Amino acid sequence: MQAWAVVENGAPLQKLEWPTPVPSGTQILLDVTHCGVCHSDLHVWEGRYDLGGGRIMNLKDRGVVLPLAMGHEIVGRVAALGPDATGVAVGDTRIVYPWVGCGHCAACMADEDNMCLTPKSIGIFQNGGYATHVLAPHPRHLVDPGNLDPALAATYACSGITVYSAVRKVMPLPPDEPLLLVGAGGLGLSALALLKAMGHRNSIVVDISPEKRTAALAAGAAQVVDGGPEGVVARIMAAAGGPVGAIIDFVNGTASAAASFEALRKGGKLVQVGLFGGELRIPLPIMAMRALTIQGSYVGSVKDLRELVKLAQGGTLPGLPVTEVPMEQADSALMRLRDGHVTGRLVLRAEAA
């Protein structure tokens, strides 16, 4: 098999020849046909996250071993089954749920593998989809995309369920209750599409970029707010008619988190999704007196993936714009993402797909 692998953090991906794995136990080997290029791949490639206050989280200390084939938004065709794998057949096209764990704890057994304390995420802690082949640990991690475009279906494995899981955390909301979405990048725009499909009608979107605010209005935002630092909280409250009960922060940097926290009304909930980096200082009496909730949200479960695919198959969920790129161009695709030259999603496509 071939892999387009991170050999050294921050250095160009290298095309490597590896022995093709033979699936054992419940494992399934798939020929990768499509793999999305996700913003978090850049963190894996760089090998670190900024935790704020000058602190850095090194992925090497967390068990990420190089060389590594990144890529966690994978669609592939089943190529071989381990002796204990059932429920799929050679040739079946499947989305690979990548946020797998140990496979035997309570979280993993409940299909909430993303809450496992020993994550083995595909494309991060084990080889992923920037390759001709990938191993899935168990058939229950494979989801049938049905009639969906496989390039779009691949993106559901990360960006799709990240949005779905975050939106689920603020639901149910009355259709006209204001919901604040911070950041009108790919995740924010996907959230607008999802909320529309769910019948919610009053999303207010904050972004510092006028182009992105225009895109948010086109995607169905009821109102948009300039996220520039001076007076942003007052602008949010003017748009919402007061403090806000539900906020999803897709940026989650120091400035956006502080403004979001300040805009919360009594009993309000802030869901933090973005990995921009930084920190939030919380005035503790306010937290208690306003009975606030701050909840982090990281990717989603395989149940979320099944539900999202079902919703998308109903035809009411517009997909985000996807650009297909040959797998051979994995490195330049990653660099295009780093340099901010990507609208929507880049998806690597295998030669034979």
Kind and range of the H or E element at 337? helix 330-338
Question: How near is the Cβ of 136 to Zn ion at its closest, in Å?
Answer: 15
Q: How many other β-carbons are positioned within 10 Å of the β-carbon of residue 92?
A: 14
Please, which residue, 12 or 119, has the CB nearer to Zn ion?
119
Question: How near is the Cβ of 323 to Zn ion at its closest, in Å?
Answer: 16
Name the phi and psi angles at 73, rounded to 5: -115, 80
Name the phi and psi angles at 99, rounded to 5: -90, 55
The first and second tokens of residue 2, run together, are 């071939």
Please, which residue, 102 or 311, has the CB nearer to Zn ion?
102
Residue from 13, 38, 194, 273 that binds Zn ion (CB under 5 A)?
38
The 8-class DSSP code of residue 12 comes to P
Cβ neighbors of 62 (< 8 A, separation 6 or more) are: none
**Residues of this chain, 49-108, that bind Zn ion according to CB under 5 A:** 101-102, 105, 108
- Binding flags for Zn ion, 179-218, as an x/- string (CB under 5 A): ----------------------------------------
- Binding flags for Zn ion, 141-160, as an x/- string (CB under 5 A): -----------------x--
Residue from 40, 165, 260, 272 that binds Zn ion (CB under 5 A)?
40
What are the DSSP calls for 264-309, one per residue? EEEEEEEEE----B------HHHHHHTT-EEEE--S--HHHHHHHH
Q: Is 163 in the site for Zn ion (CB under 5 A)?
A: no
Please, which residue, 39 or 133, has the CB nearer to Zn ion?
39
Please, which residue, 101 or 300, has the CB nearer to Zn ion?
101
Question: How near is the Cβ of 183 to Zn ion at its closest, in Å?
Answer: 15
**Cα 252 from Cα 141, distance rounded (Å):** 29
Three-state SS at 80? strand
**Cα 58 from Cα 56, distance rounded (Å):** 6
**Cα 251 from Cα 227, distance rounded (Å):** 11
Question: How near is the Cβ of 319 to Zn ion at its closest, in Å?
Answer: 16
In angstroms, the first-to-last Cα distance of the chain is 15
Question: How near is the Cβ of 233 to Zn ion at its closest, in Å?
Answer: 30
Please, which residue, 38 or 181, has the CB nearer to Zn ion?
38
* Contact of 126 with 120, CB cutoff 8 Å: yes
* Contact of 255 with 153, CB cutoff 8 Å: no
Please, which residue, 35 or 135, has the CB nearer to Zn ion?
35
Q: Is 122 in the site for Zn ion (CB under 5 A)?
A: no
Please, which residue, 111 or 177, has the CB nearer to Zn ion?
111
Residues at the site binding Zn ion, with contacts judged by CB under 5 A: 38, 40, 101-102, 105, 108, 116, 158
